Structure 1
Amino acid sequence: MSELTSVSQAQALIAEHMPSFGSERVPLDEAVGRVLRQAVHAEHDHPPFDRVMMDGIAIRWSATMPRRLRVVGAQMAGMRRQTLPSGNDCLEITTGAMLPEGADSVIPIEQLRRDGEDYVLSDDCAPVAGQFIHRRAADCAQGSLLLSPGMRLGPAEMALLAANGVANVEVAVMPSIAIVSTGDELVDVGEALGEGQIRRSNDSAVRAALRLDGLERVVMEHIVDDEAVTSQRIAELLERHDVLLLSGGVSMGQRDYVPAALAAQGVRKVFHRIAQKPGKPMWFGIGPRGQAVFALPGNPVSALVCATRYARPALRAAQGVPAPAPEWVCLDSDVDVNPSLASFVPARVQSDAQGRLMAYPVPSKTSGDFSSLPRTQGFVQLPPGQGKAAAGSVAAFYRW
């Protein structure tokens, strides 16, 4: 029997062998949700001029300025810069307009009363120089780094790209991924169940997890338990896809044909079997064209744990996404641990009155029991040990 790979070794081996998917340029409106692969710098100062922040009037402030000011024109948003003639004059202004030449303060319309061609300051109006002016380059100066490679492009990032004239964006290539379920007992969600059959669910769970990471080039396939068919279908899938995520057929049973089929198609095994529970049978290898192949166990909890702990982080890293900082939680209660295997225990998390993130374990009865997973947000990873991990222990937490 082959030696088990530790969790940390498995993580390191995947990182060492995982291919990069490269980058491509896409129009801005196609970049949302993608992973940025370029540095983006400020095209100009932000804001690019002294910007008015309130509707009202622009004035030249002084300690002896009059309470009545004559309107001599207007400075609207989008207009070329106007000039304020004298200290007894004012220009009507709108939010977003350039501050007029010669003006150094803005009085909001709420503190003014119109009287013919004049504005009269209200009794409680006490303007100061510089008020309600968003100074040029106050947000950032031209050339400042705004976005770094590895960021996922959401609403805020898209706004910055547009504001800085990035019409075409360099993003990570989205890999083509096949999620493959194996087993004669599996039927599609819309089919009636025959005797001894169950509906496929692992592929739906894994596809949902990948979509949370913005991965949309995903297809789902099913392979029956036949050695020749398994080898042929894997060969076809390797030709069409960058990543294979298989579920089932990877253990040591007499109908577990996946490892042999992968070897027959030139997929080089990096490791098989990890010292963990659930998910010990997991297999990882690299195809002849650099395809990444994750062969997950068939039991639902095992498959989702392995996809979350290994496949998803590896796919994010292959697109250039930096590894996130670990999330740490405190156990709310004692948890049984395995003496020789790392334990992955589903848990719900919630902050307590001291601000600590507490984990409330919801152990599965078996690695096939996924009915309780919707009550959890992820799982804690506990090292091997004798007896129990005590309440109050700190553990790494991985979200679904």
Structure 2
Amino acid sequence: MDTTSIEHELSLSVIVHYLVQAGKLLYRVQRHGGRVVVLLQVEEAEKKALSYAGDFGIERVSLEQAIGRVLREDIKAERDQPPYNRVMMDGIALRYESAFPLECVGLQPAGQPPMVLEEGRVCVEVTTGSVLPEGADCVVPIEHIHLEAGMASWKGDVLPQRGQFIHLRGADRRKGDVLLSSGQHLTGPALAVLAANGMTHVHVSRLPAVAILVTGDELVEVEASVQPWQIRRSNDYAIMGMLRQHGIQEIARFFVHDDAEGTLRILHNILDMHDVVVISGGVSMGPFDFVPRALEKAGVQQIFHKIAQRPGGPLWFGQGQEGQRVFGLPGNPVSAMVCMARYVLPLLTRASGGRECDAVMLRLTGPVSRLAQRTRFVPVQRRGRDEAVPCPVPTSGDFMTLAHMDGIVELSPGDVDADIGEMVRFYGWS
């Protein structure tokens, strides 16, 4: 069975028999009016979407632009680290066998070539980070000695040890060792490694250009006056915010009324200029849901449409002729954000070449009812390291409380409710 959303006038029993006989327990079957609808299961929808993730290529960026990006090359140590025998404490450098008192014959500051420690009862004053003078094999901290009139006397309780407070050359890494691996996210410490090894530019995963298209006659601009039968646009801001938190910067927002020809025209323009298209609204089964047909006319291949989940069941996913990834999200705000967290962001993570993290499992702090035939997604507040406080919303249009939530948890279908303490999978807003 190649099609993932089927609306044929076949009998329900025939379809169920076929799916069971084929061993494909990946679908849910339901009636919608006089039609039979086969819905893809959540796990299979995820698998299909991720199989089309691909990547967006590689680009070379400056060190200043690399923060938060995904590395696409191995970085090797330019030289031994540390590159010299490094003094770890302010104090004096001496030969271990030397007996106090010692004559202080000079100062070895950081950033200067190494002095030579001559034979005899002599020492060199040293600073933290400086190179160890040649001939010295011990550093004594300043608090353990008394310096007066160029002479150093011992005032510590424990005798010094050979090699103490010396960070030996190459103790951390040897020249040629791999310091950063391809696929690693570049954090502040990672940028320090790049800088310390002379990397002014680095190869990283190219970030996609993303278009957000919002549809609906009921929508008005944020700054516009609003009639009682209208609502201000908000989904595009939610989607944009989640993408930016995910590291995506090149984002363009578009709006179209519920108009078939207008939808097709704007889709043609958007597809020509973007790697990923995220559409909000117009993907369900109403008389003004023009998006699926417009996408088909625009040459976008449907991969699946409709999933056995709530909220977010009408999700549409496809691929454009140039490899564009296209998501059609339901227009209800909670549904849109659920689908972003569950499908869109994971695809972008895989396409970026980053390392995919293991599933985050949290422990429910309260009971939550399941749905018999569909996966249920419930907003939660994350508490501590591993707890999820469930905060169900009455409808998929009620998004005013989501700003206080950290993400959603996934409850598999079933007849037994999820109880306190059950471990559930968590998806964050970013």
Instruction: Give the secondary-structure state (helix, strand or coil) at the position aligned to 2:39.
Output: coil
User: 8 Å contact 1:19–1:291 — kept in the other structure?
Assistant: no
Q: CA deviation at 1:87?
A: 4.5
Q: CA deviation at 1:339?
A: 0.4
Greater shift, 282-291 or 47-56, is seen at 47-56
Provide the C-alpha distance between the structure 1 equivalents of 2:247 and 2:52, rounded to a whole number of angstroms: 22
User: 8 Å contact 1:33–1:214 — kept in the other structure?
Assistant: yes
- Which residue of the partner structure matches residue 376 of structure 1? 405
Deviations 1:270-290 (A, max 9, x none): 000111111000000000111
Q: Choose which of 371, 386, 395 in structure 2 pairs with 1:366.
A: 395
Provide the C-alpha distance between the structure 2 equivalents of 1:67 and 1:175, rounded to a whole number of angstroms: 67
Q: Choose which of 244, 247, 256 in structure 2 pairs with 1:211.
A: 244
Provide the C-alpha distance between the structure 2 equivalents of 1:123 and 1:362, rounded to a whole number of angstroms: 62
User: 8 Å contact 2:145–2:156 — kept in the other structure?
Assistant: no
Residues 1:394 and 2:427 are matched in the alignment:
no
Q: Give TM-score scaled by structure 1 length.
A: 0.95
Provide the C-alpha distance between the structure 1 equivalents of 2:54 and 2:217, rounded to a whole number of angstroms: 32
Provide the C-alpha distance between the structure 1 equivalents of 2:407 and 2:326, rounded to a whole number of angstroms: 24
Deviations 1:120-165 (A, max 9, x none): 2224363221111111122222222211122221201110111111
Instruction: Give the secondary-structure state (helix, strand or coil) at the position aligned to 2:131.
Output: coil
Q: Choose which of 54, 64, 77 in structure 1 pairs with 2:89.
A: 54
Provide the C-alpha distance between the structure 2 equivalents of 1:276 and 1:88, rounded to a whole number of angstroms: 81
Instruction: Give matches, 1:133-152, under 5 Å.
Output: 133-152=166-185
- Which residue of the partner structure matches residue 335 of structure 2? 302
Deviations 1:195-254 (A, max 9, x none): 311111111111111111211001111111111000000111001111101101110100
For 2:133, the aligned partner's letter is P
- Which residue of the partner structure matches residue 277 of structure 2? 244
- Which residue of the partner structure matches residue 255 of structure 2? 222
Provide the C-alpha distance between the structure 1 equivalents of 2:326 and 2:148, rounded to a whole number of angstroms: 77
Q: Count matched residues.
A: 394
- Which residue of the partner structure matches residue 28 of structure 2? none
Deviations 1:50-100 (A, max 9, x none): 1001111111112xx323111112222121122111241111111111111
- Which residue of the partner structure matches residue 24 of structure 2? none
User: 8 Å contact 1:50–1:98 — kept in the other structure?
Assistant: yes
Supply the RMSD in Å over aligned alpha carbons: 1.4
Instruction: Give the secondary-structure state (helix, strand or coil) at the position aligned to 1:317.
Output: helix
- Which residue of the partner structure matches residue 44 of structure 2? 9
Instruction: Give the secondary-structure state (helix, strand or coil) at the position aligned to 2:190.
Output: helix
- Which residue of the partner structure matches residue 266 of structure 1? 299
Provide the C-alpha distance between the structure 2 equivalents of 1:278 and 1:136, rounded to a whole number of angstroms: 59
Distance 1:87-1:282 versus aligned 2 partners, 3 A rule: farther
Provide the C-alpha distance between the structure 1 equivalents of 2:341 and 2:108, rounded to a whole number of angstroms: 56
Q: CA deviation at 1:33?
A: 2.0
Q: Choose which of 165, 190, 203 in structure 1 pairs with 2:223.
A: 190
- Which residue of the partner structure matches residue 325 of structure 2? 292
Q: Give TM-score scaled by structure 2 length.
A: 0.89
Structure 1 residue runs of 5 or longer lacking an equivalent are: none
Q: CA deviation at 1:316?
A: 1.4
Distance 1:166-1:123 versus aligned 2 partners, 3 A rule: closer
Instruction: Give the secondary-structure state (helix, strand or coil) at the position aligned to 2:38.
Output: coil
